[in-house]
């Protein structure tokens, strides 16, 4: 039941449990999606609210840019990449449960036009760091 969905192998991950949909060396100059991993979603419990930056905001890799609230706690949301917010996933803000049910798909949070990449790891590195 608590079986987590598999890690997308072509994504990039942060220690704070965010993902970016692309390989680390190909992100700068692209617009990419950012979300939280199934590991984070499972640890948080069911997500009931997400507070996201606004379109046009510039977010900085490694810094907080929002909050994720679950039934049991609130956690800061970090961005693994620096850049301008291009799109917010309003489907996810309206249905925060998507972060649990489809963390790597419909549960994405925002799109960033990337200028810089913070400290990240690939799927194998993230899996190892989290004993997956």
Partner 1 sequence: MTDTTANTPKETPLHAIHAELGASFTDFGGWDMPLKYGSELAEHRAVREAAGLFDLSHMGEVRISGTDAAAFLDYALVAKYSKMTIGKAKYGVIVNESGGLLDDLITYRIGDEEFLIVPNASNTPAVVAALKDRVQHFVQDVAPGSDVRLTDESDATALLAVQGPNSEAIILRALDESGHGEFGPRTGAGDQAKAEVTDDANGGATSAGDDKITIGEAVRELKYYAWMPLTIAGIDLMLARTGYTGEDGFELYAPNIGATRLWETLVTSGADYGLVPCGLAARDSLRLEAGMPLYGNELDQNTSPFDAGLGRMIGFKTKDDFFARETLAKIGETEPPRVLVGLTSEGRRAARSGAAVSVDGAEVGIVTSGQPSPTLGHPIALAYIDRAHAEVGTAVTVDIRGKAHDFTVAELPFYKRPAH
Positions in the binding site for partner 1 (CB under 8 A): 1-3, 39, 42-43, 45-46, 48-49, 67, 69, 71-74, 100, 130
In the complex with partner 1, the residue whose CB is nearer, 1 or 29, is 1
For residues 33 and 68, the answer to whether their CB atoms sit within 8 Å is no
Q: How far is the CB of 59 from partner 1 (least distance, A)?
A: 18
For residues 4 and 6, give the distance between their C-alpha atoms in angstroms, rounded to a whole number. Answer: 6
By C-alpha distance, which of 19, 17, 33, 120 is closest to 70? 17
In the complex with partner 1, the residue whose CB is nearer, 48 or 86, is 48
In the complex with partner 1, the residue whose CB is nearer, 1 or 54, is 1
Tokens of 119: 């400290």
């Amino acid at each position: 039941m608590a079986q987590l969905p598999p890690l997308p192998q072509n994504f990039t991950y942060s220690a704070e449990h965010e993902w970016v949909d692309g390989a680390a060396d190909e992100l700068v100059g692209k617009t990419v999606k950012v979300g939280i991993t199934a590991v984070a979603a499972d640890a948080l419990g069911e997500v009931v609210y997400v507070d996201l930056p606004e379109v046009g905001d510039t977010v900085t890799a490694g810094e907080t840019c929002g909050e994720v609230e679950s039934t049991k706690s609130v956690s800061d949301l970090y961005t693994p990449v620096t850049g301008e917010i291009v799109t917010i996933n309003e489907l996810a803000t309206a249905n925060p449960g998507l972060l649990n049910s489809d963390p790597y798909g419909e549960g994405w949070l925002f799109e960033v036009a990337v200028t810089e990449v913070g400290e990240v790891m690939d799927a194998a590195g993230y899996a190892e760091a989290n004993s997956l």
